[in-house]
């Protein structure tokens, strides 16, 4: 009987634990720009997307914050699945690919939405 209670308790604790999120394969603030110049860019007037561990924020969007659910390598890019919640949507998801072009440039291929080119912020 004691073993049955212990196993049941362990199963319930496992089910109640929150799912662990994956960290993004990049970090820091990135500004939307089409330039291929080397080095960080001044992001003062640009749309800024910030990656911090398993959280992504976007200065120009209807969703204030995203949480990374998974990031899997796919050749030279990553397949990303984000989760988000807004006032109207609960547990929504967004899928896209993220590719690091070089140390200062990344590309997010949003489905739908097209290609978003970003450069590291100063």
| Cα gap 80→97, rounded to integer Å | 6
For domain 20-120, the CATH architecture is: Beta Barrel (2.40)
Tell me the per-residue pLDDT of 30-64, one tens digit each, with 9 for 90 and over.
999 999 999 999 999 999 999 999 999 999 877 88
Tell me the per-residue pLDDT of 61-94, one tens digit each, with 9 for 90 and over.
778 899 999 999 988 899 999 999 988 888 899 9
Predicted TM-score (pTM) of this structure: 0.79
| CA distances for 77 relative to 11, 100, 102, 106, 109, angstroms | 36, 7, 12, 10, 10
Domain ranges of the chain: 20-120
């Amino acid at each position: 009987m004691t073993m049955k209670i212990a196993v049941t308790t362990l199963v319930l604790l496992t089910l109640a634990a929150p799912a662990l999120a994956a960290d993004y394969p990049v970090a820091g603030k990135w500004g939307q720009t089409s330039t291929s110049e080397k080095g960080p860019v001044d992001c003062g007037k640009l749309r800024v997307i910030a990656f911090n561990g398993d959280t992504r924020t976007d200065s120009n969007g209807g969703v204030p914050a995203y949480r990374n659910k998974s990031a899997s390598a796919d050749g030279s890019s990553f397949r990303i699945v984000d989760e988000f919640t807004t006032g109207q949507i609960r547990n929504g998801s967004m899928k896209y690919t993220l590719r690091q072009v070089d140390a200062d440039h990344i590309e997010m291929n949003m489905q739908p939405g097209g290609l978003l080119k970003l450069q590291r912020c100063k």
